[in-house]
């Protein structure tokens, strides 16, 4: 996991479902939040105005339930880039015990922010990941 970015969060009451654990949709939101935080931390303002990202595919495996007030560590990294597509991984685990909550692999597509058309991932992006 080279160039891993860490995004921290805490399970809130709004994240909990009728089974008293984090709802599966919340994990997906955390996956997207970790990706956005990684992009925001590394991309310049110019890049943020020039490019946009959209999801093409999510794969998520749920391992253990997260509970109210659990501290969550979201580790994310980009494993590959081809043409307009980028593959990002996210591991969601308990920040103190290391218990794995979920793992996700997401395929993203880079867009031109103005035209909203797919755009090849150039060296300005590959250099920051």
Condensed to tens digits (0 to 9), the pLDDT of residues 79-124 reads: 999 999 999 999 999 999 999 999 999 999 999 999 999 999 999 9
The chain-wide mean pLDDT, for the chain, equals: 96
| Residues 6-9: contacts with CB under 8 Å, at least 24 apart | 6/73, 6/74, 6/75, 7/33, 7/34, 7/37, 7/38, 7/73, 7/74, 7/76, 8/71, 8/72, 8/73, 8/74, 8/95, 9/33, 9/71, 9/72, 9/74
Please state the rounded mean pLDDT for residues 44-65: 97
Q: Is 2 exposed, middle or buried (0-12, 13-18, 19+ CB in 10 A)?
A: exposed
Label residue 2 by pLDDT band (50, 70, 90). Answer: low
The pLDDT of residue 1 is above 80: no
Q: What is the model's pLDDT at position 87? A: 98
Each domain of the chain, given as residue ranges in start order, spans: 5-126
Please state the rounded mean pLDDT for residues 22-50: 97
Question: pTM for the complete prediction?
Answer: 0.94
φ and ψ at residue 83, rounded to 5 degrees: 60, -115
Which CATH homologous superfamily contains domain 5-126? Hotdog Thioesterase (3.10.129.10)
Q: What is the model's pLDDT at position 75? A: 98
Q: What whole-number percentage of the chain has pLDDT above 90?
A: 97
Q: What whole-number percentage of the chain has pLDDT above 70?
A: 98
């Amino acid at each position: 996991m080279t160039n891993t970015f860490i995004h921290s969060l805490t399970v809130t009451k709004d994240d909990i479902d009728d089974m008293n654990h984090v709802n599966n949709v919340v994990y997906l939101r955390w996956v997207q939040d970790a990706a956005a935080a990684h992009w925001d931390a590394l991309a310049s303002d110019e890049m943020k105005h020039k490019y946009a990202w959209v999801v093409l595919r999510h794969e998520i495996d749920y391992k253990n339930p997260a509970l109210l007030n659990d501290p969550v560590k979201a580790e994310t990294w980009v494993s590959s880039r081809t043409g307009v597509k980028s593959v990002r991984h996210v591991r969601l685990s308990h920040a103190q015990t290391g218990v794995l909550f979920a793992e996700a692999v997401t395929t993203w597509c880079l867009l031109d922010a103005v035209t909203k058309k797919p755009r090849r991932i150039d060296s300005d992006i590959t250099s920051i990941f």
